[in-house]
């Protein structure tokens, strides 16, 4: 899929305007020594609970502490533009965890990371949001310790399944909506809702799933003026992954709109529902260039332009050959989510009361696993 990060450096299909984060891209997190740990900054203490008190920051030797507490087993669970996620084991509790290693670069980026940590603490205990256990900090990096999700990213999990049904898809979406309902109730817009940020708890079942990656999330109300200014600016900046971007976010990217709000997540949810039911997205890049590598994850200006125009039009279809087996309720939900005008789009409360979410759903086998395994089809 295509993530919006930096227009001029699209080798990983990234086109975001927030240049303060773009420099993470060139660095490698492999083999970086653990140096020092900062405890007490941004109202966080050793047990990873918000205390509401202000501590003077102090540094302790981190290398020996981490080696004594966490054993990196060498497995890389994921890699993004800014971070690498590695598997590790807590030597004391024997709990398998995931360590996300993020490079710091400048004060603004540090504020973003601390803001993400604070939002994870606000979400602590929700059954459909990944649990942040604790974090470390040295001069160059943050180390965030999460619970380990054994099922991996959602589409990767579905791709490996023999059978994935419409009922399975409904249960996945129910979990995602539960997380969104919680976030939106806290005034948080996720802004990067996509299958890669939905993780399966179990390797043997598609559900339950949990949301991860709040690095692009924006919180409307924060106590800190620095956080408030940052979030105000972010809701005026186009971010996210292109196929899942709402029209108003594309409008902001094209300079046709000044701002957007958390309703952008509901459009992204509609794209996810569509994708889960057929295996391909409702909006996609397309061009006639012979050397186009868009579907290999590389950049293509023509494909991007086609995609954005397609999203801005708000027009999509349910090809009969793929959608004839899909229930009317599923299509109805999509039609209430993929609405060009955010004022007429479903809210999370509307989704939670929709029959496709809270009533019995057909156990129809879907083509999604087969399509994801490489039988790629984009309708004309």
Catalytic residues: 192
What's the CA gap between 131 and 120, in Å, rounded?
Answer: 7
Query: Token pair for residue 30?
Result: 């492999």
Contact 97, 144 (CB under 8 A): no
62-83 in b/e form (b: 16+ CB < 10 A) is beeebeebbeeeeeebbebbbb
Whether 210 has a binding-site annotation, put simply, is no
Using DSSP, state whether 171 is helix, strand or coil. Answer: helix
CA atoms within 13 A on the CB side of 182: 19
What's the CA gap between 282 and 334, in Å, rounded?
Answer: 10
Residue 107: CB atoms within 10 Å: 10
Closest to 336 measured CA to CA, from 321, 319, 356? 356
What's the CA gap between 234 and 219, in Å, rounded?
Answer: 9
Contact 34, 60 (CB under 8 A): no
231-263 in b/e form (b: 16+ CB < 10 A) is beebbebbbbbbbbbbbbbbbbbeeeeeebebb
Residues in the chain: 380
CA angle 194, 310, 307 (to 5 degrees): 60
Residue ranges of the annotated binding site for ATP are 104
Residue ranges of the annotated binding site are 104
């Amino acid at each position: 899929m295509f993530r919006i990060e930096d227009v001029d450096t699209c080798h990983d299909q990234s086109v975001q305007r927030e240049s303060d984060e773009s420099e993470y891209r060139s660095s490698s997190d492999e083999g970086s020594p653990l140096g020092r740990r900062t405890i007490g900054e941004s109202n966080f203490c050793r047990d990873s609970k918000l205390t509401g008190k202000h501590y003077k920051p102090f540094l302790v030797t981190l290398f020996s502490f981490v080696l004594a507490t966490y054993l990196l087993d060498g497995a890389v669970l994921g890699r993004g533009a800014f971070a690498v996620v590695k598997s590790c084991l807590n030597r004391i509790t024997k709990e398998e965890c995931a360590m996300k290693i993020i490079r710091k670069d400048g004060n603004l980026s540090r504020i973003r990371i601390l803001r993400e940590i604070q939002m994870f603490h606000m979400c602590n205990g929700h059954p459909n949001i990944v649990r942040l256990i604790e974090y470390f900090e040295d001069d160059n990096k943050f180390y965030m310790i999460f619970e380990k999700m054994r099922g991996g990213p959602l589409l990767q999990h579905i791709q490996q399944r023999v059978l994935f049904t419409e009922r399975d898809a409904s249960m996945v979406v129910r979990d995602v909506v539960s997380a969104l309902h919680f976030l939106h109730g806290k005034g948080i817009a996720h802004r990067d809702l996509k299958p890669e940020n939905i993780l399966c708890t179990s390797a043997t079942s598609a559900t339950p799933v949990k949301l991860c990656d709040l690095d692009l999330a924006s919180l409307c109300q924060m106590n800190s003026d620095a956080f408030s200014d940052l979030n105000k600016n972010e809701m005026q900046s186009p971010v996210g992954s292109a196929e899942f971007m709402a029209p108003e976010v594309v409008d902001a990217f094209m300079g046709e709109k000044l701002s957007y709000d958390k309703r952008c997540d509901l459009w992204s949810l509609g794209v996810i529902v569509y994708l889960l039911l057929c295996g391909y997205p409702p909006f996609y890049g397309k061009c006639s260039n012979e050397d186009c590598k868009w579907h290999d994850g590389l950049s293509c200006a023509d494909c991007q332009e086609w995609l954005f125009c397609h999203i801005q039009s708000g027009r999509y279809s349910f090809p009969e050959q793929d959608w004839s087996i899909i229930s009317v309720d599923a299509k109805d939900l999509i039609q209430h989510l993929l609405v060009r005008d955010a004022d007429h789009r479903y809210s999370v409360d509307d989704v939670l009361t929709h029959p496709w979410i809270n009533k019995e759903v057909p156990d129809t086998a879907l083509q999604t696993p087969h399509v994801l395994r490489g039988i790629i089809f984009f309708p004309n």
